[in-house]
Amino acid sequence: MEQNTTNISKLEETINYTFANKDYIITALTHSSFANEMKNKKIEVAYNERLEFLGDSVLSIIVSEHIFADYKKFPEGELTRIRATVVCEKTLAKLAREIKLGEYLRLGRGEALGGGRERASILADAFEALLAAIYLDSGNDKARVAQFLMPLIEPEIKGYVSAGMMIDYKTELQQIIQQADGERLEYVLVGTHGPDHEKIFDVEARLNSNVIGRGSGHSKRAAEQNAAKEALAYFK
């Protein structure tokens, strides 16, 4: 069994928070696979699923309050889409990797050998548990959690908004097109450029094979949204 001797002080330095009660952070870093292997040795070890539950709620309210205050002109639906995009496994795993959280996890031997330290679900869960650990250790101080969280997650929020994903231009364009019978709208990928890690997609919005909008983006979805945004100018 792997019993990763967690260098708590190094992680504390990384997240700029020192735990008064180390049990919180140790539990946050403990996966159920580790606890189960210890249980086989008749040793009871707390693991992070309960903290993950609490951390999910803390994360949601902090992000909700932030976007509610910063994006005053956005309606409820757009705020919901921002939150759903950044409060998701993919984003949380990315943030966990930024602070190298996987290096500190206590995993069972099988999970560790099976790539658990890089598994998105495990990293995302541990990140939420870490938020809860800070929250509890700081005396339920949501602002202290935000002090750690927001510098990490705010670039994700801004990136989503700046990519033009907040307004669903494709749906808006489709609703206009559907008002006339027999019209056919499609999005065609016409090219890509840039290095693999920063690839740009170029898309054309075509109405009955006629180009009515062009757009580019770091994903096909973003490029299609931008093409639809340009196309909408023809109908307004």
Does residue 3 sit within a domain? no
Note whether 150 and 110 are same-domain residues.
yes
Give Cα 119 to chain centroid, integer Å: 14
Do 156 and 196 lie in one domain? The reply is no
Q: Do 16 and 126 lie in a common domain?
A: yes
From 37, 111, 125, 128, active-site residue:
128
137 and 28 within one domain:
yes
Residues 28 and 134 in one domain: yes
Is residue 130 one of the residues assigned to a domain? yes
User: Last residue of some domain: 162, 186, 211?
Assistant: 162
Q: Known catalytic residue: 56?
A: yes
Radius of gyration of the chain (CA): 22
125 is catalytic: no
Q: Is there a domain that residue 189 lies in?
A: yes
Instruction: Name the domain count of the chain.
Output: 2
Q: Tell me, what's the pLDDT at 165?
A: 55
Residues 139-149 have pLDDT tens digits of 999 999 999 99
Work out the pLDDT band at 15, boundaries 50, 70, 90.
Answer: very high
CA distances from 177 to 35, 170, 180, 189, 224 (A): 57, 10, 6, 20, 16
Query: Residue 201 belongs to what domain range?
Result: 169-235
Last residue of some domain: 114, 137, 162? Answer: 162
Clarify whether residues 143 and 178 are in a common domain: no
pLDDT digits (tens, 9 = 90+) for 35-61: 989 988 899 999 999 999 999 999 999
User: What whole-number distance in Å separates Cα of residue 224 and Cα of residue 110?
Assistant: 43
Angle between helices 120-137 and 89-98 (to 10 degrees): 70
- Residue 88 belongs to a domain with what CATH number? 1.10.1520.10
Residues 19 and 68 reside in one and the same domain: yes
pLDDT at 176 over 80: yes
- Residue 1 has a pLDDT of 36
186 and 152 share a domain?
no
- Pick from 162, 182, 215: which residue ends a domain? 162
Given 37, 52, 56, 156, the catalytic residue: 56
Supply the CATH number for residue 220's domain. Answer: 3.30.160.20
Q: Which residue has the higher pLDDT, 132 or 161?
A: 132
